[in-house]
A = this chain, B = another copy of it.
């Protein structure tokens, strides 16, 4: 803005909101005004919820999920079948797969994919913890649910190699997933079909 039309606290709020994915500079102003108009219903509660998340959020040391407890809600859920492990790139994929509701498995979040061009090697991903976890002997089947990208498939092969000494069945998502597509954007039906039609590697 050429000249100041509002206080620095509100300009700061707009600047920070503009960094939230899904909001640009224009949407950020719109969002800030909406929050201010809904001061008691939205601005106050959201500020508190963010503060709580800031204080309590943890990365699960077992699976890489985001939670306020470690181990996380998924890892400590005794109603899940912990002999089945779904490996995904990101927490958003774990959440998307859970929304599909097709499996009752445990998860392991890699935190990315192998990408030599970006300098991402095996040690930058949550792979060593995966091998340790599988070596415990509980896991009988692993579903590699990475994105259908070149990096995703490279990562899938690397993981398959790393786990070749263990007596586990390793499958991957069926090609119901559009090539080049990202899991997080897919509808539940597509994700469910891809899980059900998983194939041996």
Residues of A with Cβ closer than 8 Å to B? 1-10, 12-13, 16-17, 19-23, 26-27, 29-36, 38-39, 42-47, 49-54, 56-57, 65-69, 72-74, 77, 90-92, 94-95, 98-99, 101, 184
- Which one of B19, B22, B46, B66 contacts A27 once the chains associate, using CB atoms below 8 Å? B22
27 A-B contact pairs sorted by A residue (CB < 8 Å): A2-B98, A2-B101, A3-B101, A4-B73, A6-B65, A6-B66, A6-B72, A7-B68, A7-B72, A9-B57, A12-B49, A12-B52, A13-B50, A17-B46, A20-B46, A21-B34, A23-B23, A23-B31, A30-B184, A36-B57, A43-B50, A43-B53, A43-B54, A43-B57, A44-B54, A46-B50, A47-B54
Minimum CB–CB distance for A188 against chain B, Å: 10
- Determine which of B5, B8, B51, B66 lies in contact with A36 in the assembled complex, contact meaning CB atoms within 8 Å: B66
A27 proximity list for chain B (CB < 8 A): 21-22
Which residues on the B side are within 8 Å of A50 (C-beta)?
13, 35, 43-44, 46-47, 50
A36 CB contacts on chain B under 8 angstroms: 53, 57, 66
CA distance A6 to B75 in the complex (A): 10
> CB distance A16 to B49 under 8 Å?
yes
Question: Which listed residue, B9, B34, B74, touches A68 by the CB 8 Å rule?
Answer: B9
CB pair B95–A9 under 8 Å, yes or no, is no
User: In the docked arrangement, what's the CA distance between A45 and B17, Å?
Assistant: 10
- The residue among A46, A50, A56, A101 with the most chain B CB atoms within 10 A of its own CB is A50
Chain B min CB distance to A78 (Å): 12
Contact of B66 with A42 in the complex, beta carbons under 8 Å: no
Contact A9 B52 (CB under 8 A): yes
- Give 6 A-B pairs besides A6-B68, A6-B72, A29-B95 with Cβ atoms closer than 8 angstroms: A9-B57, A9-B68, A23-B31, A43-B57, A47-B50, A51-B51
Contacts of A13 in B (CB 8 A): 46, 49-50, 52-53
